[in-house]
């Protein structure tokens, strides 16, 4: 793109934005009316003030982002609706000290509002919707995904100060969807409400396109690696839960063996006392194996919540950056190319009309359309720079989240240490209780001799 002046006139920008809204229907932002410059407003005036220093640079830490809010999403046990049952969630925000009830469709409308107002920011994707056959496992997976979505949104700097988030987390009226849509009327997207938008190019580094390409490749590589880590962590947690089920069945089988009431055959009556003692001991071992199963299940669940879920959170963030890069290329850049192509066609028509000496009115109308198209192209270029400006900030935000890796690894190590420690204690407590399973020549229980120095016991 050719270099433009740092500041653009207000009237051309507004006129071009209106023309763009009429001609382009691809992105969600085109569905909103583009207000005149004098009509631009923002629910938070503090965001409109010019920041000190370089506004391109973010100065947040992971702790500061996490401290913005913690939102819980819990499933309401009873499904609503007379015929078509739907699931409701209780959404609780620490920041707003609120607890509201939301349906999945409420999340969908809120997601659409975010895309309309912040098309150049990382908007996390929603989990898929399943109309029929939504089993308990699917509903739980979707609940976890909705919780990750709303926490990423609630901690995102621009989103956290937007009126739509406050409405979604605290409005307890009967129709939150209409309330969200009303809040977006006549507001426009972030490009229209941000005073920095016309000057975004002034803050971009000269090699911004190279940095964008390198950043996109880096995020792709990080995403692929974390995706594999998440898959392995899921398998590790799943194995712990499967181990718990196996230990529980193992103990139940020992208990069933000890509870067997089948009478002894006559030729085994000499050893009836031995079998009776063994049965009594086996029956009691089920308690220890049930405790082992409980410890293994706890470890698996803890790794699902503290390791797998945090990996999924980071993957959702990385995926939202990848989606943003695609919107940048397929949205802003594509629209800019279309505007340039249309401008080229109009210029040809103008040249043809001049050569053929058409009526003055038609030539004047064509000239007016060309001026409008030039303004639209100028706005497209300003939007392109603002998109790169936001991409640069969003990449910094991804890097702010990178220390989450240490939290994930710490949780994984602690889970393994604690889990093995607790299970080791149960195994050690179980070992002395095995003595009664072994009887010596005198009939008294004696434990088996263990191999020493590689020599088998005699």
More confident residue, 164 or 255: 164
Q: Provide φ and ψ at 72, rounded to 5°.
A: -100, 140
pLDDT in tens, 115-134: 999 999 999 999 988 766 66
pLDDT in tens, 256-301: 888 888 877 777 665 556 777 788 778 878 888 999 999 999 999 9
The C-alpha atoms of residue 286 and residue 26 are separated, in whole angstroms, by: 64
Query: Sorting pLDDT into bands at 50, 70 and 90, what band is 46?
Result: very low
Query: Sorting pLDDT into bands at 50, 70 and 90, what band is 245?
Result: very high
Q: Where are the beta strands (DSSP E) in 298-359?
A: none
As a whole number, mean pLDDT of residues 340-368 equals 59
pLDDT at 23 (0 to 100): 42
SS3 content of the chain, % helix, strand, coil (to 5): 70, 5, 25
More confident residue, 81 or 220: 220
3 state SS for 270-310: HHHHHHHHHHHHHHHHHHHHHHHHHHHHHHHHHHHHHHHHH
pLDDT at 9 (0 to 100): 39
The C-alpha atoms of residue 27 and residue 123 are separated, in whole angstroms, by: 14
Sign of CA dihedral 72, 73, 75, 76: positive
As a whole number, mean pLDDT of residues 364-389 equals 77
- Which range among 75-89, 275-289, 402-416 has the greatest average pLDDT? 402-416
Contact 59, 65 (CB under 8 A): no
Q: What value, to the nearest 5°, has the Cα angle with vertex 387 and ends 386 and 389?
A: 60
Query: Sorting pLDDT into bands at 50, 70 and 90, what band is 212?
Result: very high
Into which CATH architecture does domain 237-261+273-438 fall?
Up-down Bundle (1.20)
Structural fold of domain 62-193: PX Domain (3.30.1520)
Ranges of each domain in the chain: 62-193, 237-261+273-438
Structure tokens at 21: 């809204």
When mean pLDDT is compared across 53-57, 93-97, 334-338, the lowest value belongs to 334-338
**Nearest by Cα to 70 from 3, 136, 2, 152:** 152
pLDDT at 3 (0 to 100): 39
Q: Please give the share of the chain, as a percent, with pLDDT higher than 90.
A: 50
pLDDT at 268 (0 to 100): 63
The C-alpha atoms of residue 281 and residue 151 are separated, in whole angstroms, by: 52
Alpha helix ranges (H) inside 157-308: 157-160, 163-170, 176-184, 190-193, 200-203, 208-258, 272-303
Does the pLDDT at position 448 exceed 90? no
More confident residue, 20 or 199: 199
- Which range among 7-21, 150-164, 331-345, 349-363 has the greatest average pLDDT? 150-164
pLDDT at 370 (0 to 100): 63
Sheet holding 88-93, edge to edge: 71-75, 88-93, 98-103
Contact 423, 237 (CB under 8 A): no
DSSP state at residue 86:
B
As a whole number, mean pLDDT of residues 86-104 equals 94
Burial class (CB in 10 A: 0-12, 13-18, 19+), 83: exposed
Average pLDDT, the chain: 80
The C-alpha atoms of residue 88 and residue 79 are separated, in whole angstroms, by: 7
């Amino acid at each position: 793109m050719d270099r433009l002046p740092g500041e653009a006139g207000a009237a051309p920008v507004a006129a071009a934005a209106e023309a763009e809204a009429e001609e382009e229907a691809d992105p969600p932002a085109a569905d909103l009316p583009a207000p005149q410059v004098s009509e631009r407003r923002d629910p938070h005036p503090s965001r409109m003030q010019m920041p000190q220093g370089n506004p391109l640079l973010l100065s947040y830490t992971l702790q500061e982002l996490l401290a913005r809010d913690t939102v819980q999403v819990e499933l309401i046990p009873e499904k609503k609706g007379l015929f078509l049952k739907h699931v409701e969630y209780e959404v609780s925000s620490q920041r707003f000290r609120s607890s509201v009830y939301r349906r999945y469709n409420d999340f969908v409308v809120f997601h659409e509002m975010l895309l309309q107002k912040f098309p150049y920011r990382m908007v996390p994707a929603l989990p898929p919707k399943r109309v029929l056959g939504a089993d308990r496992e699917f509903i739980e997976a979707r609940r976890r995904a909705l919780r990750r979505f709303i926490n990423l949104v609630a901690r995102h700097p621009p989103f956290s100060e937007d009126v739509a988030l406050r409405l979604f987390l605290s409005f307890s009226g009967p129709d939150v969807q209409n309330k969200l849509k009303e809040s977006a009327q006549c507001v426009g997207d972030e490009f229209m409400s941000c005073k920095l938008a016309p000057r975004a190019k002034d803050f971009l580094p000269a090699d911004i396109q190279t940095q964008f390409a390198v950043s996109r490749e880096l995020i792709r590589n990080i995403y692929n690696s974390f995706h594999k880590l998440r898959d392995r962590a899921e398998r590790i947690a799943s194995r712990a839960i499967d181990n718990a089920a196996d230990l529980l069945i193992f103990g139940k089988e020992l208990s069933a063996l000890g509870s067997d009431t089948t009478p002894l055959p006559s030729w085994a009556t000499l050893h009836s006392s031995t079998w009776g003692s063994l049965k009594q001991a086996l029956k009691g071992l089920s308690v220890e194996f049930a405790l082992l199963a409980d410890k293994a299940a706890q470890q698996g669940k803890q790794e699902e919540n503290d390791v797998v879920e945090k990996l999924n959170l980071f993957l959702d963030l990385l995926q939202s950056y990848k989606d943003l890069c695609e919107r940048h290329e397929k949205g802003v850049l594509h629209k800019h190319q279309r505007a340039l192509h249309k401008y080229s066609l109009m210029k040809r028509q103008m040249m043809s009309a001049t050569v053929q000496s058409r009526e003055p009115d038609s030539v004047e109308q064509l000239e007016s359309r060309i001026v409008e198209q030039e303004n639209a192209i100028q706005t497209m270029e300003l939007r392109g720079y603002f998109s790169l400006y936001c991409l640069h900030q969003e990449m910094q935000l991804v890097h702010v989240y990178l220390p989450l890796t240490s939290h994930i690894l710490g949780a994984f190590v602690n889970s393994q240490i604690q889990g093995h420690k607790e299970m080791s204690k149960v195994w050690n407590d179980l070992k002395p209780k095995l003595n009664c399973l072994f009887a010596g020549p005198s009939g008294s229980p004696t434990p088996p001799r263990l191999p020493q120095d590689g020599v088998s016991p005699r």
